[in-house]
Amino acid sequence: MGGTHRREVATAVCRLLVTLATVALASGCSVNDLGLVRVRHLESDSARVVRLDAWGLQILTRAEDAGLTLGPSERMYVFPKATDSAARLPLSVLVERAGAGRLHPATCDPCPGLRALGSSLAWTTRTTGIRVDANGRRIGVMLGLQTRAALRLPLDAPTVLLLKSHPNDPEAGEVYIAREAP
């Protein structure tokens, strides 16, 4: 009986492992912007935006949000396009410029990957499921729904970043980066 019981346990464990592997493969897997992830590159006159939509296991290695996510997630990273030629306008004028930062599909083909774009000025994340954070801001585990946004502007420059976001229609958003006039 001992041999039969072991065989039944081994069969059950093998079935469980095959089921788990099938679920993992069916749910998708990605590392940053590579793998089973929808990547959209958008741009305005002064900014480049990369949106990532992932559905399964996603491994993130960027310093700002390194970790592991299991479940649907949306991420948006904002990068400056040309910091040297950024407009210099008073803040009141920047706020009133309707449509100056309107996003449209990027014209690059192929577009650079996240690693090539360097550090982002701003990013947002929306995660449903399990999230394991392992970055300089947070180490921990989250279960459920989480939305986070962060902004990182240089301390030595009077940079202005205007963001208008439409979660259901990313191309309807606006991003404008400028340097405020003294």
Average pLDDT over residues 14-18: 69
Average pLDDT over residues 37-66: 89
pLDDT tens figures, 135-158 = 877 888 999 998 888 888 777 765
What's the pTM value of the predicted model, to 2 decimals? Answer: 0.73
Average pLDDT over residues 72-87: 76
Q: What is the pLDDT of residue 64?
A: 80
Distance CA 123, CA 98 (A): 22
Q: Please, which residues bridge with residue 68 across strands?
A: 59, 132
pLDDT higher than threshold 70 for residue 180: no
The pLDDT > 90 percentage for the chain reads: 16
Binned at pLDDT 50, 70 and 90, residue 92 comes out as: low
Q: Is the dihedral of CA 84, 87, 89, 91 positive or negative?
A: negative
pLDDT higher than threshold 90 for residue 97: no
Kindly give the pairing relationship between strand 88-89 and strand 174-180. Answer: parallel
